[in-house]
Structure 1
């Protein structure tokens, strides 16, 4: 600004000063646009790298992958790049769990898992997951929990809205509201009778339910779920099938790693 005034002061008349000022301001504006653009890119890149480098609970960092590369273990557990994590804020029916609808049993646990797999398989954007609120997650402190997004879509919110999972009490008021809406509309697991997943893991079953256990030990202190394409080739003992991901963890088993 001072430079423009100095240039203008060298003019011989009012018209010359006005023209000089106009040209000077135009020059500064043209120069400022690319500078501002470059600065914006620099600040965005700096923010992204700062987020990537920020340690989280238990040194857990953000995860990302193409949807097709996300392995769905059950309705609320996934593996990304070798890291197994629970999706924060929700509890889905267990993989072998059945629900009762119009007098008929259906595999609601498998339905939830397949719905989650569909979200990822059809993802038009990169799947990004970041550490969730461990304190209110209802999960063990030593197991990672993540909130996942596909573009602007909150995966946990979608599962609750579609009646494929229940909200974990105290985690998110938004999830609680979405669950109430799904229940009022009788969507998914709200359209019939279901044992809450936590009670199903404790051994409770609906009368007449023939829920199956679909996780299996594979040796070397690992386990695997039936949705994993390696299942039939890796299972070591079908007689020792496990009923949930949580049961496997309580036996100090970790999910079978994928060899690269």
Structure 2
């Protein structure tokens, strides 16, 4: 009986990970959207948090808000299609998404509004190197990696 359950999970558990969600998205922050009431975390990227600031020429600017605004500008009211890769500890779907044929995850990194989340993916190495070299988005400033910023907030 135990083996049948394992086989059933192996056979039927995988297709759920390939689930596709599409519709108009609302932006939560630079790496999280919501489609049909379902939170979706963009796979393999990490964007500054909404309250996070970066330093540009000695002045703080709300880079987290700017990242969310950039994502909102990209998506607009166009339908987004997301392919599920996982579910995170907050029960958000983790996915790669496209809008008008554009890879949203890659676009956010390539335009400097997110960094590659190397702990989970190395898919955006080239996009991040390009953004850093061109000093796009957050790369035009000094900033704390989003994961380090979150960790510091939890210890306050």
Report the TM-score when normalising by structure 1. 0.50
Equivalence for 2:22? 64
2:40 and 2:92 in contact (8 A); partners too = yes
Matched, 1:128 2:86: no
Partners in 2 of 1:200 and 1:107 — Cα distance? Answer: 13
Q: Which runs of 5+ in 2 are unaligned?
A: 1-13
Partners in 1 of 2:119 and 2:126 — Cα distance? Answer: 12
Work out which of the two has the higher radius of gyration on C-alpha atoms and give 1 or 2.
1
Partners in 2 of 1:98 and 1:76 — Cα distance? Answer: 16
Within 5 A, what are the aligned runs for 1:79-118?
79-118=34-73
Greater fraction of residues in helix: 1
Greater fraction of residues in strand: 2
2:40 and 2:95 in contact (8 A); partners too = yes
Q: Which runs of 5+ in 1 are unaligned?
A: 1-53, 205-242, 244-260
Which of the numbers 98, 119, 126 marks the counterpart of 1:177?
126
Shift of 1:119: 1.0
Within 5 A, what are the aligned runs for 1:86-235?
86-121=41-76, 123=78, 126-132=79-85, 134=86, 139-140=88-89, 142-169=91-118, 171-203=120-152
Where 2:73 maps in the other structure, the secondary structure is helix
2:38 and 2:92 in contact (8 A); partners too = no
Q: Which has the higher contact order (CA 8 A, sep 6+)?
A: 2
Equivalence for 2:6? none
Number of positions where the alignment pairs a residue of Structure 1 with one of Structure 2: 141
Partners in 2 of 1:141 and 1:94 — Cα distance? Answer: 16
Deviations 1:204-258 (A, max 9, x none): 6xxxxxxxxxxxxxxxxxxxxxxxxxxxxxxxxxxxxxx9xxxxxxxxxxxxxxx
Partners in 2 of 1:84 and 1:174 — Cα distance? Answer: 22
Partners in 2 of 1:145 and 1:111 — Cα distance? Answer: 22
Report the TM-score when normalising by structure 2. 0.81
Shift of 1:140: 3.0
Partners in 1 of 2:146 and 2:121 — Cα distance? Answer: 18
